Amino acid sequence: MFRKLLLATGIAAALLAPVAASAQDVKSRIIRFGYGLSESSNQGRAVKFFSEEVSKRSGGKLKVKGFGDSSLGSDMQMQNTLIGGAQEMMVGSTATLVGVVKDFGVYDLPFLFNNEKEADAVLDGPFGEKLMKSLSDKGLVGLVYWENGFRNLTNSKRPITKVEDMGGIKLRVMQNPVYIDMFNRFGANAVPLAFSELFTAMETGTVDGQENPVTTIQSSKFYEVQKYLTISRHVYSPWIMMASKRWWDGLSADEKKILQEAAVASRDFERKDSREASAQSVAYLKEKGMQINELSPAELERMREMVKPAFDKYAADGGAEVLKDLQAAIAAARK
Ligand code: TK8
């Protein structure tokens, strides 16, 4: 009798299992996912990975359609479209989120992180999580951070071996007061501009230079319009993957889980891929004719000294608490 029962429950379980899997509450949906870089960039590769993961995990029902090259708008425009609910997802810089949640500017203060490992620990830990969660009152759902990377300087005027060489250079920066303040302190002429307008601005001489990770300098072909590359690693820049809260709130628990898990998988893929690509980029850019130099430790120290007041200014402008929390999180990551 007992054995019969066991057998019966076994059969029932076997019959139920596939039913449970297909009974996941998942609708057929098209998810428009916008990003700024090209399809062949580290960003583009990771969007493709995310799309494939979501498709696998949803039995093909959730279709993530990637739109690269800012074809759905600049980072800032997309943020607003997500808030309005007219676009589902995006990945972009954290720097341009300052208009939504001011505290995001804290990541842009210079020379905070020494390496990628510290950045991963802080971004994926309680500090990064808390900041990401603060977006939900503003109509955005932050899912994961990807790596944009350590930023370096390029320009078409002259090699930069000391801070003074930045004097008078019209330097495009992200639309964020921390960047404007920092580069003006270095003596450059900071020009805030959307990334989508950057190549043309350099080509036409509206700006002389910009700063971004080497992977972006490669994938956006900035070497075609910029002669000098200075390895300065002045800021570690994250990207953040976000969904429209209006749209997200209408998803089932199963759908949210699929997207969340695929986002985490894409984060791990993206960081590994970006780091591998980054290691190749300098040689590539040299081959493309860029003249490359690295700032000396002594010069970097001078720069650190010069921008100290930027930290005080940031704290005085309402950022004291978030800055203190971030510094504590970095200190903890170093232990
Ligand atoms: C791409 C941007 C870019 C960022 C910038 O949309 O604006 O310079 O570094 O990666 O988010």
ipTM: 0.99
Residue 81 belongs to some domain of the structure: yes
The model's confidence at residue 5, banded by pLDDT at 50, 70 and 90, is low
CA distance 123 to 145: 7
Q: Tell me, what CATH number does 51's domain have?
A: 3.40.190.170
Of ligand 1's listed atoms, the one at least distance from the Cα of 216 is 10
Cα Dmax for the chain: 90
174 CB less than 6 Å from ligand 1? yes
Domain span at residue 168 reads: 27-334
Stretch 239-243: mean pLDDT: 99
* pLDDT at 46 (0 to 100): 99
pLDDT band at residue 20, thresholds of 50, 70 and 90?
A: very low
User: Is the minimum distance from the CB of 79 to ligand 1 under 6 angstroms?
Assistant: no
* 7 within domain boundaries: no
The reply to whether ligand 1 has any atom less than 6 angstroms from the CB of 68 is no
Where residue 4 falls among pLDDT bands split at 50, 70, 90?
A: low
Position 106 pLDDT exceeds 70: yes
Residue 266 maps to a domain = yes
8 compared with 121, residue with greater pLDDT? 121
* Inside any domain, residue 241: yes
pLDDT tens, residue by residue, 184-223: 999 999 999 999 999 999 999 999 999 999 999 999 999 9
> Residue 201: CB within 6 Å of ligand 1?
no
Query: At what angle are helices 116-124 and 320-334 packed, to 10 degrees?
Result: 120
CB atoms within 10 A of CB 61: 15
The percent of residues in the chain predicted with pLDDT above 70, rounded, is 93
- Report how many domains make up the chain: 1
User: Are 237 and 107 contacting, i.e. CB atoms less than 8 angstroms apart?
Assistant: yes
The dihedral through the CA atoms of 188, 196, 217, 265 has a sign that is positive
Contacts of residue 190, Cβ cutoff 8 Å, sequence gap at least 6: 171, 173, 179, 180, 182, 183, 184
Which atom of ligand 1 is nearest to 196's Cα? 6
Tell me how far the alpha carbon of residue 243 lies from the centroid of ligand 1, in angstroms. Answer: 18
Residue 134 CA to residue 97 CA, distance in Å, equals 11
In tens, the pLDDT along 39-48 reads 999 999 999 9
Mutate to test the pocket of ligand 1, among 42, 75, 94, 197 (most ligand atoms within 8 A of CB): 75
Among residues 227, 199, 215, 216, which one has the least CA distance to residue 288? Answer: 227
Question: Does residue 32 lie within any of the structural domains?
Answer: yes
What would the pLDDT profile of 293-333 be if each residue is shown by its tens digit?
Answer: 999 999 999 999 999 999 999 999 999 999 999 999 999 99
Rounded to a whole number of angstroms, the distance between the first and last alpha carbons of the chain is 61
Alpha carbons 208 and 210: distance in angstroms, whole number: 7
Mean pLDDT value of segment 145-165: 98
Q: Are strands 291-294 and 228-231 parallel, antiparallel or unpaired?
A: parallel
Q: Looking at the domain assignment, is residue 3 inside a domain?
A: no
pLDDT at 67 over 90: yes
Centre of ligand 1 from the C-alpha of residue 152, in Å = 13
Q: Do the domain assignments include residue 9?
A: no
pLDDT at 164: 97
Token couple for 11? 């059969």
Residue 329 lies in a domain: yes
Question: Which tens digits make up the pLDDT trace of 109-143?
Answer: 999 999 999 999 999 999 999 999 999 999 999 99
